[in-house]
């Protein structure tokens, strides 16, 4: 296990270096720069002398490989520089301010998706060809067919504009549940679809396994067979997708946060892409990559704990 952890840690470092390198050079190769975007946003020409001074201030006048090396050295110290647009505020400060909102909406989405997706998947698998199976299939087809941003706009029109039950947008954190409903529902379409399909497929496969037939033949009651022999073994493929899904949810959604005016990291990153705010783009990308890689690593360990047949050491 120690060797596996060492190898995965080295792989994580390699992935972060590769992602940072690709992100850095790709965003610089895109036509236009941060001050071109600033000119377009303000509809006013910025004097050439001011642009040159700003480029010198942020180190944009240096060759690209020098800029990347300086960024890499600072990033190793946990310093991602300062935003070009947020009045000289540091990237670390912006992440600390906006990320909690994304974590809140992500945790709520994950909780709702787990209850609905796992519940529908379990009932569908345990009742094949019956109304719970048809219900689960119908919900998953709806989630697959309707884009989240379309569903979000539809809910805004019906629930907020026509019925006036909920506010159209905004976010007040944990204290105001009325702001949760529409963002969580819209953000849950993908997770509910994934969890429902994986859970149903996994449980259906396990129920046809020989050891389940043997347990039933021994006279074990249905509850024991279901909890001990079916659910435990069916959790393995579900855990595989649940880990990365969690990391993706808590880093924020570009569309949902933008539609509902949630001041999270996803919304701010989306704005940074249009403004060519290089430091924030790099920091957000590396944060997302780190969380995804760590969750895959943790998922592999949980996978081995759930299934003793999985081993991460080479057998002699």
User: Between 308 and 147, whose confidence is greater?
Assistant: 147
Q: Report helix angle 189-207 to 119-126, nearest 10.
A: 30
- CA pair distance 94, 81, nearest whole angstrom: 11
48-63: pLDDT as tens digits: 677 777 778 778 788 8
As a whole number of angstroms, the distance between CA 8 and CA 26 comes to 26
307 against 140, higher pLDDT: 140
Considering the chain, what percentage of its residues have pLDDT values greater than 90?
13
Q: Is residue 108 part of a domain?
A: yes
Higher pLDDT, 250 or 153: 153
Torsion angle (degrees, nearest 10) of CA 61, 67, 70, 76: 140
Which residues, including other chains, have CB under 8 Å from residue 139's CB and lie 6 or more apart?
116, 120, 192, 196
User: How far is Cα 255 from Cα 267, in angstroms, rounded to an integer?
Assistant: 8
In the chain, the percentage of residues whose pLDDT exceeds 70 is 90
Q: Tell me the three state secondary structure of residue 153.
A: helix
> Is the confidence at residue 40, as pLDDT, over 60?
no
Domain assignment present for residue 139? The answer is: yes
Asked, for residue 248, whether it belongs to a domain, the answer is: yes
Mean pLDDT of 223-238: 74
Residue 164 belongs to what domain range?
100-263
Q: How confident is the model at residue 39 (pLDDT cuts 50, 70, 90)?
A: low
- With helix as H, strand as E and coil as C, how does 60-85 read? CCCCHHHHHHHHHHHHHCCCCCECCC
- Tokens 């943790």 locate to 298
What average pLDDT score do residues 154-183 get?
A: 88
Section 249-272 average pLDDT: 84
Is residue 72 in a domain?
Answer: no
pLDDT of residue 316: 46
**Residue 116 lies inside a defined structural domain of this protein:** yes
Interatomic CA distance for residues 265 and 286, integer angstroms: 13
Confidence of residue 46 (pLDDT cuts 50, 70, 90): low
What is the arithmetic mean of pLDDT over 269-288?
Answer: 86
pLDDT band with cut points at 50, 70 and 90 for residue 226: confident
- Distances, alpha carbon 174 to alpha carbons 109, 127, 179, 267, 278, in Å: 13, 37, 9, 19, 31
How many CB atoms sit inside 10 A of residue 6's CB?
A: 10
- pLDDT of residue 304 exceeding 70: no
For residues 217 and 272, the answer to whether their CB atoms sit within 8 Å is no
Statement: residue 221 has pLDDT above 90: no
Residue 291 vs residue 222, higher pLDDT: 291
**What is the chain's mean pLDDT, rounded?**
82
Residue of higher predicted confidence among 42 and 200: 200
pLDDT mean over 290-299: 82
The total number of structural domains in the chain stands at 1
Dist. CA 249–CA 227, nearest whole Å: 29
CA 262/CA 85 separation, integer angstroms? 19
Residue 128 lies in a domain: yes
Q: What are phi and psi of 47, to 5 degrees?
A: -55, 145
What pLDDT sits at residue 291?
Answer: 87
Average pLDDT of the segment spanning 40-46: 56
**What pLDDT score was predicted for residue 45?**
62
126 within a domain of the structure (yes/no): yes
Closest CA to 231 of 128, 122, 136, 117: 122
**CA separation (Å) from 110 to 35, 125, 174?**
38, 21, 15
Q: Is residue 218 part of a domain?
A: yes
pLDDT digits (tens, 9 = 90+) for 102-155: 889 989 999 999 899 988 988 888 888 888 889 988 998 898 888 888 999 999
CATH code of the domain in which 255 resides = 1.10.3720.10
Residues recorded for the chain: 316
């Amino acid at each position: 296990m120690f060797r596996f952890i060492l190898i995965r840690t080295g792989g994580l470092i390699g992935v972060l270096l590769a992602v940072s390198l690709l992100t850095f050079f790709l965003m610089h190769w895109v036509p236009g720069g941060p001050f071109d975007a600033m000119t377009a946003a303000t509809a006013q020409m910025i004097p050439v002398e001011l642009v040159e001074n700003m480029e010198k201030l942020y180190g944009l006048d240096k060759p690209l490989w020098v800029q990347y090396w300086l960024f890499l050295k600072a990033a190793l110290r946990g310093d991602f520089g300062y935003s070009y647009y947020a009045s000289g505020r540091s990237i670390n400060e912006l992440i600390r301010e906006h990320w909690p909102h994304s974590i809140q909406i992500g945790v709520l989405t994950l909780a709702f998706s787990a209850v609905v997706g796992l519940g529908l998947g379990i009932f569908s698998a345990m009742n094949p060809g019956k109304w719970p199976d048809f219900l689960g299939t119908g919900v998953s087809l709806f989630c697959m067919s309707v884009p989240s941003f379309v569903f979000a706009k539809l809910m805004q029109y019906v629930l907020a504009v026509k019925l006036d039950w909920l506010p159209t947008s905004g976010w007040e954190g944990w204290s105001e549940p009325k702001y949760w409903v529409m963002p969580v529902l819209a953000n849950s379409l993908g997770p509910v679809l994934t969890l429902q399909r994986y859970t149903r497929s996994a449980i259906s496969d396990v129920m046809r396994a020989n050891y389940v037939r043997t347990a039933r033949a021994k006279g074990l009651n249905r509850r024991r067979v279901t909890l001990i022999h079916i659910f435990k073994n069916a959790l393995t493929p579900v855990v595989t997708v649940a880990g990365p899904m969690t990391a993706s949810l808590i880093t924020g959604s570009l569309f949902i946060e933008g539609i509902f005016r949630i001041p999270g990291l996803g919304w701010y990153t989306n704005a940074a892409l249009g403004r060519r705010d290089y430091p924030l783009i790099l920091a957000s990308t590396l944060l997302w990559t780190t969380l995804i890689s760590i969750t895959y690593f943790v998922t592999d360990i949980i996978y081995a704990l759930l299934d003793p047949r999985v081993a991460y050491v080479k057998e002699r």
